Chain A
Amino acid sequence: MVTTLEEFQIETRAWLEENCPLSMRQPVKSMEDVYWGGRKAKFNSEDQKQWFEKMSERGWTAPQWPKQYGGGGLSKDEARILKAETDRLNCRPALYSFGIWMLGPALLHYGSEEQKMEHLPKIVNGEIWWCQGYSEPGAGSDLAGLQTRAELQGDEYIVNGSKIWTSYADRADMIFCLVRTNPDAKKHSGISFLLIDMENEGVSTSPIKLISGKSAFCQTFFDNVKAPARNLIGEENAGWTIAKYLLTHERDMIGASFISEGQKTLAEMALETLGEDPQTEPILRTQVAQHEMDMLAFKLTLARSTDEAKQGQGMGAKSSMLKYLGTELNKDRHELIVALNGFDGLGWEGEEFNEGKIVRDYLRTKANSIEGGTSEIQLNIISKHILGLPG
């Protein structure tokens, strides 16, 4: 069936109006408001269930994935329209999933047909909650220095070691991991990309508390954990290529994730907190304008890079730029939000301070420029790959 984009837009709008429950058109306030799926999944409301089921039926939890893997099979333009239409109604994402954001794109690129058929539909349908095992206590910025060992014995890998910053590892069903399969090769050439079931014997997790008082982060331990050899993605010892691909993807995601149309601008927050009298905190007002200047410039740059990508002008190392600028700007934004709120912005507990939301969000932003590759690592990448500066 041939439909023009215009028809697609009209149909999509009507379908969303009909199928997205009103309560799913409210901003996400806490993690309780979002659905992560998984083997032990529970819906928090009937509306959440309905919204998720309607969306996953159409494959619209992964709109651009091919239909044979359960995805929506939408073109880039159609996906853009869907995004615009869901934004327009403020629809919540029907499913939060590292499977959709991270593993899926890697599988589509590097997975075998069998692996795609096995894992992708379950991701679209929210059957499996995936988490990511990249960093280790001894391998942060120097990620390729990772030491978690996987040895092939028969048709199984035996995994030993530990991963850190594994978000939601305590709730996830499976983990996609970077493991060392050849300890004698140069560090980038001995790494493989392996899928491990978290229910397997020898897997344990322990939560990590951040300066914000809580977090989804865990440390995950592997003690003689078995993973079938068919769970190896790509060639053995060729995992670094997949890792790099996913890191680029992650940077794009993080860079863009701080911009959402529904979000209040800092200028709006300034007016709410400081009032309209320009004599109140004039310097702070100027700082807010400075921030808005950069934020506008950043939004335009995001739009430009999307438009350039559409014309086939590759982004490449530009994802490092977007990650760097996006996270630094978000930190600046929260720094100013705290300043705008004065002492109120420093409240840690109690209803009067909304349980410290302002300061906890602020503290959480400190990790923005560390996770997914520190700002310094991004600057290294830009220096090397865009500017061509020597070693």
Chain B
Amino acid sequence: METTIKEKKQTYRPLVLDEEQQLLRESAKDYLREKSPVAAFRKLRDEANPQGYDKHLWQEMAQMGWAGLAIAEEFGGMNYGYLGLGIVLEEMGRTLTSSPINSTVLLGATLVSLGGSEAQKKTLLGGISEGKLVLTLALEEGNHHQSLPKQTTATKTAEGYTLQGQKTFVMDGHVADKMVVVARTSGNATDTQGITLFLVDAKAAGVNIHRSQLVDCRNYAKVSFENVTVSAEDIIGNVGEGFAILEKTLNIARIGLSAEMLGMMQEAFDRTMVYLKERKQFGVPIGSFQGLQHRSADMYCHIELCKSVVLKALMSIEEDSAQLPMYASLAKAKVGQTLARVSNEAVQMFGGIGVTDDEEIGFFLKRARVAQQSLGDYTYHLQRLVKFQKLA
């Protein structure tokens, strides 16, 4: 009896940030507000920046340790954990900071940390921690998120494998140095067995990259693989057994992305509250109208729900909880649903100015929609929740 009590006591982790984590939030907030306000993002857009993000800034962030937050110390990281990464992502959501953190740190580094060999970890994670390597995941093949590839295949050859297929909406695809390509090496289209993860150099022969311009002005690419040769050493994990690594990576990344979305949602909401207090019509601030007050208060409540869900989900990564897939879907669904609403309401409450390009609030709506769609939208994750509840 005594031992069970002890165990229980040790596993209860209060749903609050500790002092160090609060400091990380404050310093991230200050840094991003100064170096990367929404105006910086507008500038990247207006100059049609070919890189899509500020390389110098990313270097600085890496020097501060952000790129290596969730990477083990022996591979050059900070080993600070995903909660810390989530805090930074949330603050980056507030400033709409464009960087390779989602592709490289959330997806790339997580995948390598989970499934890579010692040699792969050594070469890849060090580069990521230093902000020198952009590593992305080439997974999607259609318009909607899918964790199983439909037509990308790899066939065994004398030299290793030959990759064939086409990937869409590859995050940071056109600036990536390397990408992990999800391909089928055996089995049928719906089998989770037979999925293999290939590490491919972006400059390898047969890799064709085309940048896709989406509404959020971030970086996505269409990447085709025409008879690309990959050595057997460049497989992450075992042949045919990549799905478990992939799915866990996706769940972690869904939570990280939810943290970014939570930041966006809070910033859009805060800006709207400021506007409601400033903007006068009929001789009074429009925030004095109950029609707007109740919608605002209800949104506030749902944002609070989102904060709890994201915090718990981030903790579940660190605890390596068996509930991780459920928390990932809970976070992505609840945050996706709420962000859709908050971003819509923000534009509506800003009124005419809200639909102009001069006002920054529209940027939040635009980024929100892409983030919602990435790694599974509300209905995708609701469907998973139906399954987790054993309702289907």
Contacts and interface: CB of A to CB of B under 8 A. Distances in A.
Interface of A: 5-6, 9-10, 13, 265, 267, 270-271, 276, 278, 282, 285-286, 288-290, 292-294, 296-298, 300-301, 303-304, 307-308, 310-311, 313, 318, 321, 324-325, 376, 378-380, 382-383, 386-391
Contacts of A10: 1-2, 5
Contacts of B297: 324, 378-380, 382-383, 386-387
Contacts of B16: 304, 307-308, 311, 313
Contact of B296 (A6, A288, A318, A387): A387
Interface stretch (B70-78, B214-222, B284-292): B284-292
B392 interface: yes
Nearest to A276: B390
Contacts of A307: 14-16
B392 A301 contact: no
Given A9-B5, A292-B385, A388 B273 contact: yes
A293 B334 contact: yes
Contacts, number: 129
B358 interface: no
A301 B305 contact: yes
Main secondary structure of the interface of A (DSSP, over half): helix
A321 B300 CA distance: 9
Contacts of B6: 6
Interface stretch (B133-141, B196-204, B306-314): B306-314
B330 interface: yes
B389 interface: yes
A118 to B, nearest CB: 38
A286 B389 CA distance: 10
A383 B312 CA distance: 27
How many of chain B's residues touch chain A, expressed as a range? 35 or more
B154 interface: no
Given A304-B311, A321-B304, A293 B385 contact: yes
A390 B301 contact: no
Given A300-B15, A304-B16, A387-B300, 20 more contacts: A267-B389, A292-B389, A293-B382, A293-B385, A300-B305, A301-B308, A304-B307, A304-B311, A307-B16, A308-B15, A376-B294, A379-B297, A380-B294, A382-B297, A383-B296, A386-B297, A387-B297, A389-B287, A390-B277, A390-B288
Nearest to A9: B5
B285 A301 contact: no
B361 interface: no
27 contacts: A6-B6, A9-B5, A265-B389, A270-B389, A278-B392, A285-B386, A285-B391, A286-B383, A286-B386, A292-B389, A296-B309, A300-B15, A300-B311, A304-B16, A307-B15, A311-B14, A311-B16, A313-B16, A318-B304, A321-B301, A325-B301, A379-B297, A380-B293, A380-B297, A383-B296, A386-B297, A387-B297
